[in-house]
Every structure is written in structure tokens, then in C-alpha cells.
Amino acid sequence: MVDEEKSLILQGTLAEARAATEKVRQELQKKFFGAAITLSDFTEGFQKGDQIIQVQETLPGRVVVSIEGSDNIRRQVSADFQAVVSTWTAKRRVSPGEVLKDEFFQLSETDVSKGPSRDLRGLLVDSSSAGQNQIKGLESRQTILEGTPLTLNAVQKIPNLRRGENVNIRIQSGGVQLTTQGTADESAYLDAVVHVTTSKTKRALVGKLKDNSTVEVGL
């Protein structure tokens, strides 16, 4: 009977230790959202009734866990951790303005808890199953070097209209509507404001892009 009681106590202690590990992992996931957190074991000597009071990252990749026992005595233990995210990494140099394609990138695992990759947390383009189509419809804003993780600030949505392209300008003034030709002075997206210049009179106008080649201007 004594052995059975010891076994039950041990099982309860192990369950609480696992729960404590999960609590620390959840706290770290708040800071490293979307990352898979792995922890070194900090529960050696963990006793039944121990409670996690505070989790504090003291160094990149290391946390100090404050624990309060059932006797109200507090102690601290440290643990190393990794925060791993799945990222798109360039297989070749990508030039500014290139439309992104799957074959330009490969999946890789990146630890964003420490080192240069730490500064990229929150900026990496999602390559999880939920974001597997995220690079479609994007182009590079800057040079992306081979071996570099793909970040949100390095890409942009492909514009519906590019600077210098011809447009139909539909001018609305009161109940009168006129149509003329012009060129885009800047790239733009649907329903966004865009500056254009008429071809004949070289008049600068501001309107909204209604489709890929029509700009509506109100006077």
C-alpha cells in the first residue's frame, strides 16, 4: 500500500511538472507568437503543490522561472529554450520587382530566440500550412540574397497598375462625364488613390483606380 501511495504521489508530481512546463511554454509563445517552443528541463526537484509565479527572459534563449512551494517559500530555476519557426529561405538572389515564385525558396527552420534571427521575429513571411500560399501575388521590394529568410518588409503586393502604364481617365464633373487617355504617375492598387497625367494636355489629376486600366476622377 505504501508503494502504491508513493506511486500516486509521483504521478501527481510529474503531472504538475508537465503542467508547469506547458505554462512556461505558453508564456514564451506570447513573445514568440507562432513559434514552436522547446525547453530544457527545469522541473528537477519539482514537488507537489509547486506553482509558477513568474517567467522572465533574462538572456536571449534563457528564462528564469520563479516557483512558490506549498510552504510559501520561493525559489528560482533557469531554463534554456528555442523558439523555432518555419521560414521561406531564398535559394537564389531575387532582384527588386521580381514576382515571387515557390521555386525561388525552400522551407527551413529558424530559431528566433537568439542571434541575428531574433530581430526577425514577427517579420518573417509565414510558411506554415496556414500560410503556404502567402507568397503568391507578391513581388520583391528589394534585393533578397540567397540564404536569406523572407521578411514582410522585403515584399509587397503586386500592384494592379504600374507607373508609366496607359490608363483610361474617366472625369466626372456634376452630371457630365468625359473620358480621355493618360499615364499613371505611380503604381497603385484597386480603389486606391493614384496620380495620373492626361496625354494631350499633360494635366495632372488625382483619382481612384477602378479597374486595372480605368481611373475615375471627380472635379
pLDDT digits (tens, 9 = 90+) for 44-63: 777 778 888 899 999 999 99
Model confidence, pTM? 0.67
CB 146 within 8 A of CB 93: yes
Q: Where are the domains of the chain?
A: 2-83, 84-157, 166-218
Q: Kindly tell me the burial class for residue 215, based on how many C-beta atoms sit within 10 Å of its own C-beta (0-12, 13-18, 19 or more).
A: buried
| Average pLDDT along the chain | 86
Beta bridge partners of 68: 51, 74
β 155-157/51-59 pair status: unpaired
- Who has greater pLDDT, 93 or 34? 93
For 84-157, which CATH class?
alpha beta
| CA gap 214, 200 in Å, rounded | 17
Q: What is the CATH T-level fold of the domain 166-218, as seen in this structure? A: SH3 type barrels. (2.30.30)
